[in-house]
Amino acid sequence: MQLSRKAQRTKTVLVAGGAGFLGSHLCETMLQAGWRVICVDNFLTGRMENIASIADRPDFRLIKQDICRPLELGEPVDGIFNMACAASPPRYQADPVHTTQTCVIGTLNLLDLAARNGARFLQASTSEIYGDPEQHPQKEDYVGHVNCIGPRACYDEGKRTAETLCFDYLRMGKADIRVARIFNTYGPRMDPADGRIVSNLIMQALERRPLTIFGDGLQTRSFCYVSDLVDGLIRLMEVNPNPRQPVNLGNPGEFT
């Protein structure tokens, strides 16, 4: 990656939610690329075992903190990936207010940190911001078909607001931001109880239970392997010039 950085200093990236499924893979990849990594996680859904293989490295720093509290790092950073917030419906619906706070207050705190450091910022958003789409596939300029008061709205609307904040900071010249709308991702370390389609079907198959298919079974999903997703995140973070719009990240092929 070619993020701007001061000379004579090891480049440092902060990964919020770095002990989670996606975040832990991102931390590993950044370390392999020669970056110093600061992982921030409150461990509501993140797990120590996800980062066990890198926890003792001298170029890895772990901060156990909720991003809803402002971060005081005591050192500069060159890039920030905001991967924080539970993406599993049972998890984020268990405490919907905190989910919204993480998306809004947490993102604000990290954007302010990026602004103070002159760091490039990437927001992990979601295809869920399209709601129950009436357009297939969804292009980035599709505004969605959404329910702002339903039981899933804490996550969907929280992520939409996070996107708004990012582009407000960009337009105001306060931060150089990127927004990735992530589609269904699978791979090692995914939570088998996260309540989403891939984990549900895998667990049902392993337990020799009938596979649950809702509706007529004609619904389609875009499934992306985690290493491909991480590669896409890094490419988006380093791309120049700034795309100045959200970017969908997922498999272009859809499956029923």
| Residues 158, 107: Cα–Cα separation, whole Å | 10
| Residues 247, 98: Cα–Cα separation, whole Å | 26
Catalytic residues: 155
Kindly state the tokens that stand for 140.
Answer: 């980035």
Tell me the three state secondary structure of residue 222.
strand
Neighbours of 75 (CB within 10 A): 11
Q: Which pLDDT value is given to residue 134?
A: 85
Q: Are 92 and 85 in contact (CB under 8 A)?
A: yes
Dihedral of alpha carbons 43, 44, 49, 54, sign: negative
CATH code given to domain 12-190+224-255: 3.40.50.720
Cα 71–chain centre separation: 18
Burial 39-71 (b: 16+ CB within 10 A, else e): bbbbebbbeeebbeebeeeeebbbbeebbbeeb
Burial 76-92 (b: 16+ CB within 10 A, else e): ebbbbbbbbbbbbeebb
C-alpha distance from residue 7 to each of 4, 59, 78 (Å): 9, 18, 11
| DSSP annotation of 145 | B
Q: Which pLDDT value is given to residue 220?
A: 62
User: Which element (helix H / strand E) includes 255?
Assistant: strand 254-255
Instruction: Give long-range contacts, CB 8 A cutoff, 24+ apart: 165-171.
Output: 165/104, 165/107, 165/108, 165/111, 166/107, 166/111, 166/121, 166/123, 169/111, 169/114, 169/115, 169/121, 170/242, 170/244
Q: What is the DSSP string of 95-143?
A: SHHHHHHIIIIIHHHHHHHHHHHT-EEEEEEEGGGGBS-SSSSPPTT--
- Please state the pTM of the whole predicted model: 0.90
C-alpha distance from residue 143 to each of 130, 155, 165, 241, 242 (Å): 7, 16, 17, 24, 21
Strands 221-225 and 254-255: antiparallel
Segments of the chain scoring below 50 in pLDDT: 4-8
- Map out the domains of the chain as residue ranges: 12-190+224-255
Q: Which pLDDT value is given to residue 209?
A: 82
